[in-house]
Structure 1
Amino acid sequence: MIKVGIVGGTGYTGVELMRLLARHGAAQLSAITSRKEAGMAVADLFPSLRGHVDLQFRDPADAGLDRCDVVFFATPNGIAMQEAESLLAAGVKVIDLAADFRLEEVAEWEKWYGMSHASPRLVAEAVYGLPEVNRERIRNARLIANPGCYPTAVQLGLLPLLEAGVVDPTSLIADCKSGVSGAGRKAEVHTLFPEAADNFKAYGVPGHRHLPEIRQGLGRVAGRPVGLTFVPHLTPLIRGIHATLYARLERDIDLQELFERRYASEHFVDVLPAGSHPETRAVRGANVCRIAVHRPQGGDTVVVLSVIDNLVKGAAGQAVQNMNLLFGLPETQGLDGVPLLP
C-alpha cells in the first residue's frame, strides 16, 4: 500500500483528495494535517467521510510526513515550496496542488504571486502534471506541479489545434466560467451565498494568476509564444468550469477527426459527437474533461467547449491520476466514478 499524507486537509481540495483516496484500493491515508484543527477527527469536520476516513487532523510538525511514500500539498500558494525539499530528501514524492512549482521562470512566478520563491532550485526539477502532455516525465518524477483548474480546461481544449498547427497562435481567446468552490473554503465576502447566488460576473480581466501558466503550456506545444486573452467569470455554481475557447483557423481540416484522434487513447478526455454542447453537470464529481469542437457557419473561427469539475480533473482527481503514474498503477485506479446527476 502507498502511504499517503495530505498537508492542508481542511479545504475543498483536501476533502476531495480524501474522498477519492478512501476508495482507491492501493493507497492508505496515513496523515492529514491542519494546525487549526489538530486533534479533531476528520469525520467530525467532514461527516461525509464518516466510516471512510478514521483519522484525526495532526499538526504538520508531528504528523510523520517523512514516513509517507507521497505527500499531497492541498495548501495555499507559498507553503509547499518551504517544505518540499526536506520531504524529497527523505525519499518522499511530492504533489503540489497549489502553484508553487507551475511556472518555469522564478521571476515570473514572483511577479504574479507577490512573494519570493523559497525553493527556486526545485522549480527546474518539478514536472508539470498534465498527464495528457507529460505522462512519461510524470512517471519518473519526484516533484509534481499539479495544474490549475482553468489551465487544465483551457489547455486540453486548445492542444489539438496548436499541435496540428492549424490555428493562429497569436489570437487565442479563453472565456471561462467557474463555480464558487474554485475560490476555496476560506471566508470571503464575494463567495457568501447572498453575494454569489443569482449573480454572474467577470473578474481578473487585467491579469489573472492562471494566465502565465496557460500561456506557458500552450506556448510549449505551439513552439512559440502565444497571444491569449483570458477572462474568468464567477458563476452561482458550487462545482464546475466551462471554458469557451476561440481560435482563428488557418487551413481547412476535419476538426472533429482531429480531436477524436488526439484523445482516442485518453481515458479522461471525452470528445463528444459533432454538434454537442457539454454541460458542467455531466462531469460533476468525475475526473473527466468533456470537449466539443464547432466551426460556426463553416467559417474560419473554431469554437471549443471544454468542461471539467474544478475540484476533480481540475485539482484532486488529476493529483491522484499523477500519483497513479508515479507509482506504476493503472492510471484510472480510484478515478472511475460515474458523474453525479442531478
Structure 2
Amino acid sequence: MIKASVVGASGYTGVELIRLLALHPEVEIVSVTSYNYKDKDYSDLYPSLKGYVGMKFEELHKEDIIKKSDVIFSALPNGHAHELANEVVAKHKKLIDLSADFRFNDFSVYEKWYGPVPPIDQRIKRVYGLPEIHRLELKGANVVANPGCYPTSVILGLAPGLRCGLIKAEGIIIDSKSGVSGAGHNPTLNNLYTECNESVKAYGVTHHRHTPEIEQELSYLSGNDVKVTFIPHLVPMTRGILSTIYCDIKDDVTLSTVREAYREFYSKEFFVKVLDEGQFPRTKDTYGSNNCHIGLAYDEHTGKLIIISAIDNLVKGASGQAIQNMNSLFGLPENTGLDFPAIYP
C-alpha cells in the first residue's frame, strides 16, 4: 500500500483528495494536516466523509509526516511548498504540489507573478504534471507540479492542434468560465451567495496568474513562442470549467483533418473524450469525474476553429489529476481509483 499524507487538507482541493484517496484500492492515508483545525475530527468538518475517514487533523510536523509517508500531497497556498519539497526529497520521498510553486521552468517567471523563490535543493527533479503531455518525464520525478485548473482545460484543448502543426500559434483567444469552488474554501466577499448568484463576471482581465503557465506549455507543444489572450469568468455554480478557445487553422487544413488528429492524439487516453461532430461539452457531463470533454467546430463566416473543453475544476483540474500523477509515479494504471463517470444529473 502507498502511504499518503495530505498537507493542508481542510480546503476544497484537500477534501477532494481525501474523498478520492479514501476509496483508492492501493492507498492508506496516514496523515491529514491543518493549521486551523488541529485535533478536530476530519468528518466533523466534512460530514460527507463520516464512515470513510476516521482521522483527526494534526499540525504540520514535517519530519514525522515525511517519515511515515511514501507520498505527500501539498494543498497549501502558493509560496509554501518549496521548503517542504527540499525536506521531502532529502528523505527520498515524493511530493505532489497543487500550488504554483513548481509549475514554471523559469523561476524568474514565478517570481514575477507570485513572489520570491527560496533556495531549491538541487536533487529536486520536478515535472509539470499533465500526464497526457508529460507522461514519460513523470517516471523520474520526485516533485510533481500539479497543473492549474484553467491551464488543464486549455492545454488539453489545444495540445493536438499545436503539436500536430494544424493551428496557428498567433492570435489564440481563450474565454474560460469557472464555478465558485475554484476560489477556495475560505470565505471572501466576492464569493458570497448574494454577490455571485444570478451574475457572471470577468476577473483577472489581462493579468490572470494562469496566463504564463498556459503560455509555457503551449509554447512547448508548438515549438514556438505562444502568447494568448486569456479571460476567466466566475459563474454561479459550484464546480466546473468550460473553456471556449478561438484560433486560426493553417492553410489547407479542414475540420475533419483536425478532428481526426484530435482522435488520434487522445486515442489511448482514458480521461480525454473527443466528442462527435455537432456535440459540445457541458460542465454537467464531467461533474465529479476526472474526465475532460472536447468539442470542435469551424466557423466558415470568420474562418475560426472553435475548441470547447470541459472539466471538473476540483477533480481533473486539481485533486483527481494529482492522484493520476501519483498512480504514474508508483507504476499503477493511471485510472486506478479514478475509474468512474460524472455525477448526473
C-alpha distance in 1 between matches for 2:340 and 2:92: 31
- Preserved CA contact (<8 Å) 2:283 2:312: yes
Letter in 1 for 2:135: R
1:56 counterpart = 2:56: yes
- Preserved CA contact (<8 Å) 2:178 2:235: yes
Q: 1:122 to 1:299 in 2, by over 3 A?
A: farther
TM-score by length of 2: 0.96
- Preserved CA contact (<8 Å) 2:124 2:143: no
Q: Which runs of 5+ in 2 are unaligned?
A: none
Which residue matches 2:283? 280
Which residue matches 1:74? 75
Q: Which runs of 5+ in 1 are unaligned?
A: none
C-alpha distance in 2 between matches for 1:48 and 1:67: 27
Which residue matches 2:26? 26
- Preserved CA contact (<8 Å) 1:308 1:314: yes
CA deviation profile, 1:210-264 (whole Å, cap 9, x unmatched)? 0000000000011111121000000001000000001111122322111111111
Q: How far 1:121 sits from its partner (Å)?
A: 4.8
Q: How far 1:122 sits from its partner (Å)?
A: 5.7
Which residue matches 1:37? 37
Which residue matches 1:332? 335
1:205 partner SS: coil
2:265 corresponds, among 257, 262, 282, to 262
1:60 partner SS: coil
C-alpha distance in 1 between matches for 2:27 and 2:37: 23
C-alpha distance in 1 between matches for 2:242 and 2:182: 12
1:17 partner SS: helix
Which residue matches 1:89? 90
Q: 1:265 to 1:298 in 2, by over 3 A?
A: farther
1:162 counterpart = 2:162: yes
C-alpha distance in 2 between matches for 1:292 and 1:129: 23
C-alpha distance in 1 between matches for 2:215 and 2:154: 10
C-alpha distance in 2 between matches for 1:170 and 1:304: 15
Which residue matches 1:309? 312
Letter in 1 for 2:303: D
2:300 partner SS: helix
Q: How far 1:321 sits from its partner (Å)?
A: 0.1
Computed over aligned residues only, the root mean square deviation of the Cα atoms, in angstroms, reads 1.4
Q: How far 1:76 sits from its partner (Å)?
A: 0.6
- Preserved CA contact (<8 Å) 1:174 1:229: yes
Letter in 2 for 1:111: K
Q: How far 1:125 sits from its partner (Å)?
A: 2.8
Which residue matches 1:214? 214
After the TM superposition, which parts of structure 1 deviate over 3 Å for at least 4 consecutive aligned residues?
A: 119-124
C-alpha distance in 2 between matches for 1:122 and 1:246: 40
- Preserved CA contact (<8 Å) 1:173 1:229: yes
C-alpha distance in 2 between matches for 1:322 and 1:119: 25
Q: How far 1:64 sits from its partner (Å)?
A: 2.4
Which residue matches 1:294? 297
Q: How far 1:330 sits from its partner (Å)?
A: 1.1
CA deviation profile, 1:46-74 (whole Å, cap 9, x unmatched)? 11111111111000117523320000001
1:95 partner SS: strand
C-alpha distance in 2 between matches for 1:110 and 1:124: 19
- Preserved CA contact (<8 Å) 2:89 2:124: no
Identical pairs, percent: 44
Q: How far 1:297 sits from its partner (Å)?
A: 3.0
- Preserved CA contact (<8 Å) 1:127 1:141: yes
C-alpha distance in 2 between matches for 1:208 and 1:100: 16
Worse overlay, 22-31 or 120-129: 120-129
Which residue matches 1:236? 236
Q: 1:306 to 1:119 in 2, by over 3 A?
A: farther
Which residue matches 1:147? 147
Which residue matches 1:184? 184
- Preserved CA contact (<8 Å) 1:104 1:123: no
- Preserved CA contact (<8 Å) 1:101 1:123: no
CA deviation profile, 1:180-220 (whole Å, cap 9, x unmatched)? 00010111100011001111010111211000000000000
C-alpha distance in 1 between matches for 2:59 and 2:197: 35
Q: How far 1:107 sits from its partner (Å)?
A: 1.3
Q: How far 1:140 sits from its partner (Å)?
A: 1.9
C-alpha distance in 1 between matches for 2:153 and 2:180: 16
